[in-house]
């Protein structure tokens, strides 16, 4: 089946809550392959997973606790930083020339039903069957419309856009999904998590951790024609970060439309304390396209050994930022260009996650993770 390459259908609400509200739409496998949000279950070991363990109900309602702050990320509060997207009617351009489809797209009622099913899965922590199974006609256009429906619903409830994430940013994951470009999701203030506070796994369905550098923008990006040089000039700080990904689709059995509709499988972001400008990194001889990153983990059961001493951290994943489109700065520039066709800019104060430089690792109650980025710093996350 031919897949629509999203040359003209990436949507964004990145401009919402600023001066105006826009109408728009949207190899080998190893630890350096990066961006596991596509849900390759070959990296999972479900034999050790106990979904009935404390803090991780298999299904049922769970009360979400307070969200942590984006610790020290320098995200600016704007008076008008909240907005509700306009309707998606008529916002998608015509199909990409040459793309073919095996079925018609969904109508608005079906899109609304798909969005509601994802909303309920997130609310109740009760994963659903893939949308690509329940809605056989779904395509990429539908998926971004569905994503927008739920983003709009969250903004109407008081959430604010605080950044953006790029997914499917490694060649191996693009090949797996049959696409030639990444996908895209939104980071809201309700998704920002603190490295100082344990994250309740019961708030998620299948939480995983990904290792990424983050770009904190000090100025808005130009959009159309945006280059890597533009990104570096606009970036106030580069920060060590972890993305919490999750799938509201049962057992991560996702295809392209499933992950796009599910906000690119995003669930949260944790930012470390280190702040280094691109100029500082360059002066220190650190190339953003060649930063080694190692993720270490420990669990509550292994935190203390038989002698009563703290057990060492175990390496969970290792990678390099070159796994992200060859250069994570390239991913940020790509995103800026992609959303520019909808009149949207990546704004000052936002955090941009360009994609993971390691495979994703399951997060379970009692796990603690520490990611170390050579020359940049560390970031930690713990789960309860």
Is position 24 within any domain?
no
Q: Which two tokens stand for residue 139?
A: 């395509």
Please report which confidence band the pLDDT of residue 296 belongs to, taking 50, 70 and 90 as the band edges. Answer: very high
Is position 294 within any domain?
yes
| pLDDT digits 0-9 by tens, 79-128 | 333 333 333 333 333 233 333 334 468 999 999 999 999 999 999 999 99
Q: Is the pLDDT of residue 350 over 70?
A: yes
Task: Answer for the pair 383, 63: CB distance below 8 angstroms, yes or no.
Answer: no
Task: Answer for the pair 292, 320: CB distance below 8 angstroms, yes or no.
Answer: yes
Name the percent of the chain lying above pLDDT 90.
Answer: 60
Indicate whether this model's pTM tops 0.95: no
Is position 330 within any domain?
yes
Domain count along the chain: 1
pLDDT at 315: 95
Is position 357 within any domain?
yes
Domain holding 268: CATH number?
3.90.850.10
Tell me the average pLDDT across 259-272: 96
> What contacts 338, CB < 8 A, 6 or more positions away?
10, 184
Is position 16 within any domain?
no
Tell me the average pLDDT across 174-189: 87
Q: How large is the greatest C-alpha to C-alpha distance in the chain, in angstroms?
A: 67
| pLDDT digits 0-9 by tens, 133-171 | 999 999 998 998 999 999 999 999 999 999 999 999 888
Is position 351 within any domain?
yes
Terminal C-alpha separation, the chain: 42
Q: What is the C-alpha R_g of the chain?
A: 20
* Residues of the domain holding 102: 36-382
Task: Answer for the pair 242, 270: CB distance below 8 angstroms, yes or no.
Answer: yes
- SS3 at position 311: coil
Supply the mean pLDDT for the chain.
77
Is position 176 within any domain?
yes
Residues 354, 148: Cα–Cα separation, whole Å: 20
CA 315 to chain centroid: 23
Residues 122, 120: Cα–Cα separation, whole Å: 5
Name which of 158-167, 292-301, 313-322 the model is least confident about.
292-301
Residue 215 Cα distances to 163, 227, 241, 295, angstroms: 10, 15, 9, 19
Is position 10 within any domain?
no
Tell me the average pLDDT across 365-382: 97
């Amino acid at each position: 089946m031919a897949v629509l390459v999203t040359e003209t259908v990436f949507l964004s609400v990145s401009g919402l809550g600023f001066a105006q509200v826009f109408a728009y739409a949207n190899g080998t496998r190893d630890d350096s392959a990066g961006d596991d949000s596509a849900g390759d279950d070959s990296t999972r070991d479900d034999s050790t997973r106990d979904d009935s363990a404390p803090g991780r109900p298999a299904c049922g309602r769970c009360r979400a606790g307070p969200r942590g702050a984006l610790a020290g990320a320098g995200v600016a509060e704007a008076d008008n930083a909240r907005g509700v997207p306009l309707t998606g009617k008529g916002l998608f351009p015509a199909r990409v020339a040459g793309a073919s489809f095996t079925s018609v797209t969904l109508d608005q009622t079906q899109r609304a039903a798909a969005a509601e099913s994802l909303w309920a899965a997130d609310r109740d922590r009760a994963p659903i069957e893939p949308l690509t199974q329940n809605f056989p006609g779904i395509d990429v256009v539908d998926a971004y419309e569905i994503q927008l429906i739920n983003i709009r619903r969250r903004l109407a409830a008081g959430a604010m856009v605080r950044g953006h994430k790029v997914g499917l940013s490694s060649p191996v994951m693009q090949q797996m999904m049959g696409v030639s470009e990444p996908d895209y999701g939104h980071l809201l203030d309700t998704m920002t998590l603190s490295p100082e506070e344990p994250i309740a796994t019961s708030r998620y369905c299948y939480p995983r951790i990904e290792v990424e550098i983050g770009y904190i923008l000090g100025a808005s990006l130009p959009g159309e024609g945006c280059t890597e040089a533009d990104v570096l000039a606009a970036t106030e700080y580069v920060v060590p970060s972890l993305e919490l990904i999750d799938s509201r689709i049962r057992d991560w059995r996702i295809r392209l439309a499933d992950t796009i509709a599910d906000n690119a499988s995003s669930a949260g972001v944790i930012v470390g304390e280190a702040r280094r400008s691109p100029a500082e990194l360059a002066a220190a001889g650190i190339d953003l396209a060649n930063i080694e990153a190692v993720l270490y983990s420990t669990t509550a059961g292994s935190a203390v050994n038989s002698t009563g001493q703290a057990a060492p951290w175990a390496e969970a994943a290792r990678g390099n930022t070159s796994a992200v489109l060859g250069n994570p700065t390239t991913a940020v520039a790509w995103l800026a260009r992609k959303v520019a066709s909808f009149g949207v800019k990546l704004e000052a104060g936002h955090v941009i996650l360009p994609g993971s430089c390691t495979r994703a690792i399951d997060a379970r109650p009692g796990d603690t993770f520490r990611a170390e980025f050579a020359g940049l710093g560390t970031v930690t996350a713990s789960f309860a």
